[in-house]
Chain A
Amino acid sequence: MPKIQIPTPLRQYAGKEPAVEVKAATVGEALYGLVARHPELRRHLYTDDGKLRAFVNVYLNDEDVRYLQKEATAVKETDSISIVPSIAGGSAQR
């Protein structure tokens, strides 16, 4: 099954798991399966009207899905999907 890599800042909403395997044929299905399993993640990944948030980047292996077929991009069993959110830390003052 394709594996979704969960970045550290979002793991607290995903049962603290670093990666989740989801049965899916497309990137969109995989993410849908992920939030179905971890509903708390939904508001971190999707806007209220169901669009992927602009600060959440989704990669299929090393390619940004925005430059493939976005959420319709087909995934293979061996593929790795990464969620890459923006992080700002540098000196951890705030």
Chain B
Amino acid sequence: MSTNTEVKPETATLSNDEILRYSRHLIMPEVGMEGQLKLKAARVLCIGAGGLGSPLALYLGAAGVGTLGLVDFDVVDYTNLQRQIIHTTADVGRKKLDSAADKLKAINPLINVRPFDTRLSSDNALELFRDFDIIVDGTDNFPTRYLVNDACVLTGKPNVYGSIFRFEGQASVFATEQGPCYRCLYPEPPPPGLVPSCAEGGVLGILPGLVGVIQATEAIKLVLGKGEPLIGRLLLVDALAMKFRELKLRKNPDCPVCGTHPTITKLIDYNEFCGIRGEEAPVEAGVPEIQVEELKRRLDAGEDVFVLDVREPHEYQICNIGGHLIPLGDLPKRVHELDSSREIVAHCRSGTRSAKAVNFLRQAGFRKVRNLSGGILAWADRVDPKMPKY
């Protein structure tokens, strides 16, 4: 299938160093000298240097993509290392952008790495995208996904899409001239809170590797103009069953951004579009809270406080403060286990799920129920430093 994204090699040539480095490409007819020159002339922008961005940037750099842009504003932390393989233990605390750029230069000093230390936004996306041929979406949230898609449609750049949850992934190529875009598939995002986030759901460490490498493969095929790109197809990856399925996607003529009569002709406020007000807007505002120090003091004093842990059993195994375990999802059918006359303190990992539990219990008539502010993480920080954090 031919696409308009195929990069035209200009008058560039390969040096002897490059010929040696890329020899396994050069001797295969699907790449050859012509293909390698296309890769050298290609400009690919990776949004995010995290789970998906790590493997795909490493492979694109190794393959000789001449200009590799990276957009990220985050800092490496210990919980990233289980899957974000471009970062090492020594990089914890560094900017992901610096860490990733170092690895890419070490793997392939012959490419041009262009780091952008910024959060992609409606103000900078169009300008950033203009200097690149292909955009690879390795982000982790709905507002940025819609922003990347719309900016790709508006600038006419293909959007190489990948997304993961626990052990399931999706991949496709959106926003080519003939093909559907992300909004053709999902015109609207889910309301916040209805779909569990990765922080709640977790992710199998190798899954972003699997999906990110699929994205890298698609980006390289687009550059080379070879093979059958994932245009008009949604690839579903189930790592647990190790099954790959494919669904047909169609360009929606009524699509608000790429349809025949688009209503979105410039970038919008994507946080508002996704129902998110403010940066870290609490899901449940205004629930009564208790601080970890106060809970500790009252438990030590032998006061009658019933501690309710609303996390999952496998989280309880990691660490607990001896609370009565009822996972948030089971609370409605197990509410009879609780005594509404007693004082109840609900907690989870960071305080979000337990805030929902407190709201639920208050609506169910419980009056003396409070949320442990900051959850068991705050307990580990401020009460018991020996407690593991996760």
Contacts and interface: CB of A to CB of B under 8 A. Distances in A.
Contact of B52 (A18, A63, A91): A91
B195 A90 contact: no
B108 interface: no
A94 B198 contact: yes
Interface residues of B, number: 50
Given A9-B195, A91-B84, A55 B202 contact: no
Given A9-B201, A55-B189, A55-B190, A90 B247 contact: no
Interface stretch (B16-24, B26-34, B159-167): B159-167
B86 to A, nearest CB: 11
B194 A87 contact: no
Interface string A63-94: 11001000000000000001011111111111
* Secondary structure dominating the interface of A: loop
Contact of B199 (A12, A64, A86, A92): A92
A88 B145 contact: yes
A88 B249 contact: no
A92 to B, nearest CB: 3
Given A84-B236, A85-B190, A91 B53 contact: yes
A87 B164 contact: yes
A87 B140 contact: no
B48 A55 contact: no
B246 A90 contact: no
A42 to B, nearest CB: 12
A86 B84 contact: no
Nearest to B51: A91
Interface in B128-142: 137-142
B234 interface: yes
Contact of B248 (A55, A63, A93): A63
Contacts of A26: none
B249 A93 contact: no
Contacts of B50: 90-93
A87 B250 contact: no
B197 interface: yes
A92 B202 CA distance: 7
Interface in B280-335: 329
A43 to B, nearest CB: 8
A64 B202 CA distance: 28
Interface in A1-49: 7-9, 12-13, 18, 40, 43-44
Contacts of B3: none
A53 B189 CA distance: 10
B186 interface: yes
Contact of A94 (B188, B189, B197): B197
Contacts of B141: 88, 94
B150 interface: no
Contacts of B84: 91
Contacts of A91: 48, 50-53, 74, 80, 83-84, 138-140, 198, 208
4 nearest CB pairs, A to B: A91-B50, A92-B198, A90-B140, A89-B198
Interface of B: 48, 50-53, 74, 80, 83-84, 137-142, 145, 162-168, 170, 185-190, 194-199, 201-203, 208, 234, 236, 241, 245-250, 329
30 contacts: A8-B166, A8-B168, A12-B196, A13-B329, A53-B190, A54-B186, A55-B186, A55-B188, A64-B247, A82-B236, A84-B234, A84-B236, A86-B185, A86-B195, A88-B145, A88-B163, A89-B165, A89-B198, A90-B53, A90-B139, A90-B162, A90-B163, A90-B164, A91-B50, A91-B139, A92-B51, A92-B199, A93-B50, A93-B140, A94-B197
Given A84-B170, A86-B185, 13 more contacts: A8-B168, A8-B201, A40-B329, A43-B194, A86-B190, A87-B163, A87-B170, A88-B145, A88-B198, A90-B208, A92-B198, A93-B50, A94-B198
